[in-house]
Structure 1
């Protein structure tokens, strides 16, 4: 892709449904121009529902959430918990199991904000129907202090940009809580495709959508989203769902909506705070120099990245979807859950040596946590 010798689109009015990102100014905006040392954006953690003997480990579920809440509180980071497909096995849960997750979470944490992944099961279907999303949406919207994340489905994803926009708007007619839209690529779900710039702009203007999550490995769509939203002053928060791009979101002062927060929460919360300038009121642990930020955060970025590169490694199918099983091994090693077992219907599993692989993955982050005095890592359970 090259921007040479052509005029790039910089105004929303010039976007067409088939405009590629490469034809826009936002695809060529350098990360350096978006760096933000003043904003401590929220961390949304795709919470793991652990299993033991093929049944949910509710004690481990609650214990791991409490552990993450402690880390967020120590560093003054706003945290929300995501009950969704990444680590909640939403495509494997029955509707009754899904309702039970929401109920147990709210009973344990009555005032804690959560985001709930909502999808429309469409196995064998050939046409999109908004009503498939309604049972999960109704289950979510009986609770306060929550948001609904509209996850893609096969029949939604196959639509052209204009019909895809209309489909999201159909679902939004039923929203009574803030909505988050969710885009993926094939490395996470084989049939998924990210949004075109026209579609993102259309969704960002809808009054019920407060933000979106983007997860891609091969192209920096999160950077494109960030540049567009800032350049057009859109009231829409891009959330990085790319667990390989955690540090980019921190550098840009933008939200994270990730499964990595489950296993690396203390490290991510520390990095959020260390990146802030001492002049920022939200900073909780200052350098004492009057201005500037803690440059040791660069080494912490490296430790986080090395950790997640193994947790979210690609398998032989070029898919990272088995990371939820790796996450369970990490939480088990930290003493937070009783077993590294996955949902009994989950087919995205790691091999028999995963405990050793995750022990290796944790060496560098454990060392950095010790050097920086990061509490709760490995754990205080």
Structure 2
């Protein structure tokens, strides 16, 4: 009987995850109650009267930063597809997003997503398509560059896909994050094979990667491999349908959900920690009363349920199996919370919700607001 692969030396480009020991590592064995990993929030670019609402952009980031400061969480805004509707945004406006952000937050680290520009009529992968956005982003310091997947890069076999990422990496002067996406956002996307992840995770310019999948727990596979091999590479969960997993594993989140539920997610990160964890900001009621260490706050499990039910509504699939319209839902949520001035999407964005979205988001928020009130979580309530 063939044994499971447990050494990276035995991986080949065609090895499947199911052939490796990392695909059979349980979530329970990876649990971490001591690490409060960073929250990388895919920020929304609000619009009003068809134009970017710069004041609302800045106020939304400040709202998230306030929650992160309150709970001692490192917040790293992500300026990518969610921020600029990157496939609708021209280079000049994307550069303006970065300039406005840096002017308002001169010391804050950010992650910027870059993808292939002008590849619509290509018939093969061309790495130079990534250069325009790379050049715009790398004018700034204190940032990381996320190499977002693109159709022709994703179409390559594992070896050529690796070579594609490595070619783009030659132009990196900032730390890089590799990006794997799944079909609920773009139908042609596929996750990384184990050999490809191993190759990318060992590249000196790549400090981490983002993975989101609906049908198979690839984030767990990544976490198991990275921990087992003690790699200097941080898996970031991009799975807005399963936020709690990353919190439980002490690993970073890189999600659009943080732009609409940052106070709840930051609270959960702190509640999950043991009372004796150095990063713990608020002790459990048991420890606060001097009745023992308290371990961690078990009420976090109900908070997980509350914000997950909210985000499941935001990221719900449409009849085509796509969640891409979540940006429009997020705008409605932020507007209802009083964070942004209007619930508009980018005027050229084709992924939109229906006319009843405000009412749907109102209903979706009810449980989350109730939990915020019960747990004294500031910043998540409707304006009076």
TM-score bracket relative to the smaller structure: over 0.9
1:169 pairs with one of 166, 171, 180: 166
Offset, 1:39: 0.3
Matched, 1:82 2:85: no
CA distance in 2 between counterparts of 1:370 and 1:102 reads 35
- Unaligned 5+ segments in structure 2 are none
Matched, 1:249 2:246: yes
The 5 A counterparts of 1:1-381 are: 6-121=2-117, 122-287=119-284, 288=287, 289-378=292-381
1:124-143 per-position Cα deviation (integer Å, ceiling 9, x unaligned): 21111111111111111111
Q: Is the 8 A contact 2:265 2:307 kept in 1?
A: yes
CA distance in 1 between counterparts of 2:21 and 2:125 reads 33
CA distance in 2 between counterparts of 1:89 and 1:124 reads 20
Q: Is the 8 A contact 1:279 1:291 kept in 2?
A: no
- Unaligned 5+ segments in structure 1 are none
CA distance in 2 between counterparts of 1:378 and 1:259 reads 19
Offset, 1:86: 3.2
Offset, 1:380: 7.7
Q: Is the 8 A contact 1:87 1:259 kept in 2?
A: no
Q: Is the 8 A contact 1:26 1:227 kept in 2?
A: yes
CA distance in 2 between counterparts of 1:177 and 1:87 reads 20
Offset, 1:88: 2.8
Aligned pair in 2 of structure 1 residues 112, 380: CA closer, same or farther (>3 Å)? Answer: farther
CA distance in 2 between counterparts of 1:260 and 1:136 reads 24
Report the secondary structure of 2:76's partner residue.
strand
The aligned length equals 377
Offset, 1:379: 6.5
1:264-306 per-position Cα deviation (integer Å, ceiling 9, x unaligned): 0000000000000011110000121324011110110010111
Q: Is the 8 A contact 2:336 2:382 kept in 1?
A: no
CA distance in 2 between counterparts of 1:209 and 1:379 reads 40
CA distance in 1 between counterparts of 2:373 and 2:29 reads 33
Q: Is the 8 A contact 1:46 1:88 kept in 2?
A: no
CA distance in 1 between counterparts of 2:272 and 2:336 reads 28
Q: Is the 8 A contact 1:62 1:105 kept in 2?
A: yes
**Scaled by the length of structure 2, what TM-score is found?**
0.97
Q: Is the 8 A contact 1:18 1:196 kept in 2?
A: yes
1:15-64 per-position Cα deviation (integer Å, ceiling 9, x unaligned): 00011111111111110000000000000000000111111010110011
Q: Is the 8 A contact 1:87 1:324 kept in 2?
A: no
Report the secondary structure of 1:7's partner residue.
coil
CA distance in 1 between counterparts of 2:170 and 2:13 reads 22
Report the secondary structure of 1:343's partner residue.
coil
Report the secondary structure of 1:100's partner residue.
helix
Q: Is the 8 A contact 1:67 1:379 kept in 2?
A: no
Q: Is the 8 A contact 2:209 2:233 kept in 1?
A: yes
1:166-207 per-position Cα deviation (integer Å, ceiling 9, x unaligned): 000000000000000000011111111110000000000000
**Scaled by the length of structure 1, what TM-score is found?**
0.97
Q: Is the 8 A contact 1:147 1:179 kept in 2?
A: yes
